[in-house]
Chains A and B, each alone.
Chain A
Amino acid sequence: MPKDTLIRGPVYVLEDNIDTDLLIPACYLNLVPTIPEEYRKLGSYALAGLPDSFPKFASNADGTTPFPIVIGGRNFGCGSSREHAPIALGAAGAKAVVAESYARIFFRNSVATGEIFPLESAQRLCGEFKTGDLAEVDIEKSTITRLSDGKVFALKPVGAVAPVIAAGGMFAYAREIGMIKK
């Protein structure tokens, strides 16, 4: 898991039911995330499935994103089990998704890989932020702050997966508790 517990920068705002085909279209699933060059390429295609009316997400010249925080509505990451989805966001340089709720496998893959923090907002935030607004996520305090006016929104506690997140992913956790060899 990323070690920073304070994430600051512009947000990229999405809506409900952001599916894995929007996050990483299937034509890019020939890329293998464990190959470093292909991992970076996946980052450059993060959210490439969005309709053309959306601004490009990975818009930096080097294929990364200027948006470290993604805001979504309900059921973020629905669809496929492709781990390429949280990996694309993480490889692009995003640090956290803040959504009202998650599809199960996307949430699980985010935690297991440690690519991004999948955080749940206590209220709907899609209307509270516009793409490009500056925000700060404080993971220890479970808050996201809109920096233009200082308004603070609560995040839900991480819950049962907290030990896995704290350890830094599935393998680190399993080693910590002695389930697999160090």
Chain B
Amino acid sequence: MTITEKILARESGAKLISPGDNIWVNAGILLTHDVCGPGTIGIFHREFGKDAKVFDPEKIVILPDHYIYTADEKAHRNVDTLRAFAKEQKLPYFYDPGTSSYCGVCHVALPELGHVRPGETIFGTDSHTCTHGALGAFSTGIGNTDAGFIMGAGKLLIKVPPTLRFVLDGEMPAFLSAKDLILHIIGDIGVDGATYCAMEFTGSAISALGIDERCTICNMAVEAGAKNGIIAPDQKTLDYVKARTKKPFEPLFGDPDARVLSERRYDVSKLEPVVAKPHLPDNKALARACRDVKVDQVYIGSCTGGKLEDFVMAAKIMKGRKVAVRTLIVPATRTVEQGLVDTKIGGQSLREIFESAGVEPIAPPSCAACLGGPIDTFGRTHGKEVVVSTTNRNFIGRMGSKESQIYLASPYTAAATALTGHITDPRDI
């Protein structure tokens, strides 16, 4: 069995499972946030009763992150709903906005907080829940109804996905990042190239990546339609997880002879920086082939591109230089925000580097403009802006305005573009 099948088998109590089987799987963690949490809670109470209790308060994590810094009344009402529910159910893992426990973007906070453990299952009411496969967990996005079901029952009926394996070998060239790797893959297989499948990433280039970069790759598995993305745990994974949780866990690994649906190989040393042009993540083009695209705004943030390693990459490009266009920096979490102060390149903190480069005042952690959101959301587009963004989706209207155009890129490429005002291959800086 593959690593995905091994985890699902263990959590379903079956010895052997195969792709296509429909099985009941125990939930290790149920993750929700302010956009889908209130609806999930509504379904939970409607179906299990007004006085119902969640299946296990220790296994429910609520990380509000989407609409935090807004005057929108319903957004505030929704956070109030989460707050009341956390109190009613005595949930230990509610990270309340407006308090010191607030974190920011759920997919960056969940591993930071030690809630992601190899070999476990995570279900979340957000499609980018596939991020957490980067630490060797089975992790997938679900809707409110399934989440409401898990809240009461602690398990979910799911279909075992077949695995598509991606073997990435070779040495990473300078200024190439995990974002480029996943944009290459999605560009090759298409936005429905992995529908219903597990995307398993392996090879020496994956082993060489840090945890943040591995998360970037698994984060975008859903942009190819995958159910989950997964990377087998190694020493880096174990060190990262053990530094963040005392809870015991038992990693699982795929069998060497496990059957996969297909295998694709990449020599990353031959790859170049790319962007995904509007309006789909598979609309791949070489960054150097898009030099004539003038840009109004550069956005560096989100669960895909707002982690500490992302900002280190951006700062390497921006250090000692000035931005030519409106450049927005949104650290994903409070921990990342602190990292901007604590992490230094040549004696200068990342924050100082960005501020000296002339970026907009750095925003507090949240999903912000990644998905548009309420009208007063930081960085939201309102017209025909052309944006280069380290986020994950470039659909029509994704950042707010239907008329704006979004190019997805790595932090290196986004930062290089910020300096010139047109799409720029970071190797040219």
Q: B25-58 toward A: CB 8 Å interface, digit per residue (1/0)?
A: 0000000000110110011001110000000000
Q: With A51-B396, A81-B124, A108-B142 given, can you name 20 additional A-B contacts, CB distance below 8 Å? A: A17-B192, A19-B393, A21-B396, A21-B398, A22-B395, A29-B35, A33-B144, A49-B396, A80-B371, A81-B125, A81-B129, A81-B141, A81-B143, A104-B196, A104-B225, A112-B145, A112-B146, A113-B143, A171-B149, A180-B149
B22 and A160: CB pair below 8 A?
Answer: yes
A31 and B74: CB pair below 8 A?
Answer: yes
Q: Which residues of B contact A33 (CB under 8 A)?
A: 39, 42, 144
B263 to chain A, nearest CB (A): 21
A72 to chain B, nearest CB (A): 12
Q: B104-135 toward A: CB 8 Å interface, digit per residue (1/0)?
A: 00000000000000000000111101000000
Q: Which of B39, B66, B375, B393 contacts A34 (CB 8 A)?
A: B39
Nearest A residue (CB) for B126: A81
Task: Please name the 3 residue pairs, one residue from A and one from B, whose CB atoms are nearest each other, closest first.
Answer: A34-B42, A83-B143, A109-B143
Tell me if B159 counts as interface (CB < 8 A to partner A).
yes
A83 and B144: CB pair below 8 A?
Answer: yes
Supply 9 A–B pairs (Cβ within 8 Å), ascending by A. Answer: A21-B372, A34-B39, A75-B225, A78-B192, A81-B124, A82-B35, A103-B225, A105-B143, A170-B157
Q: Which of A49, A50, A75, A113 contacts B145 (CB 8 A)?
A: A113
Tell me if A66 counts as interface (CB < 8 A to partner B).
no
User: In the bound complex, how far is the Cα of B36 from the Cα of A59, in angstroms?
Assistant: 27
Q: CB within 8 Å of B: which residues of A?
A: 17, 19, 21-22, 25-27, 29-35, 49-52, 74-75, 78-84, 101-105, 108-109, 112-113, 160, 164, 169-171, 173-174, 179-180
Tell me if B364 counts as interface (CB < 8 A to partner A).
no
Q: CB within 8 Å of A: which residues of B?
A: 20, 22, 24, 35-36, 38-39, 42-43, 46-48, 66-67, 72, 74-75, 78, 81, 124-127, 129, 141-146, 149, 152-153, 155, 157, 159, 191-192, 195-196, 222, 225, 227, 280, 371-375, 393, 395-398, 400, 402
Contacts A27-B375, A34-B42, A83-B39 given: A105-B141 contact, CB under 8 Å? yes
Q: Which of A27, A34, A75, A81 contacts B127 (CB 8 A)?
A: A81
Total cross-chain contacts (CB, 8 A):
146
B38 and A32: CB pair below 8 A?
Answer: yes
Q: Which residues of A contact B373 (CB under 8 A)?
A: 26-27, 29
A170 and B149: CB pair below 8 A?
Answer: yes
Nearest B residue (CB) for A21: B395
Most buried by B among A21, A35, A52, A103: A21
A169 and B78: CB pair below 8 A?
Answer: no
